[in-house]
Amino acid sequence: MGGRPSQDIPVILDLIAKNIINIDMIITNIYSRLEDANEALEELHHGKILGRAVIKLP
């Protein structure tokens, strides 16, 4: 069975809010600008991102 975003995302956000899921352990890198997307993809390609990367938008 595939994911059900409309049901799964609220549950996941609730688990994060309750500190059941530690999101800091999941995210490897945070990029602060959309312009950093190419750098993120390059690091992913070279195995420098071991978990997830997030691009924070203002």
| Dist. CA 45–CA 20, nearest whole Å | 30
Say whether pLDDT at 6 is over 70: yes
pLDDT of amino acid 14: 96
The stretch 11-26 carries a mean pLDDT of 92
Q: Is the pLDDT of residue 20 over 90?
A: yes
pLDDT (0 to 100) of residue 1: 67
Q: Percentage of residues in the chain with pLDDT exceeding 90?
A: 53
> What does the pLDDT look like over 41-51, one tens digit per residue?
999 999 998 87
The pTM assigned to this predicted structure is 0.56
Give backbone dihedrals phi and psi of 31, rounded to 5 degrees, phi first: -110, 135
User: For the chain, first and last CA: distance in Å?
Assistant: 35
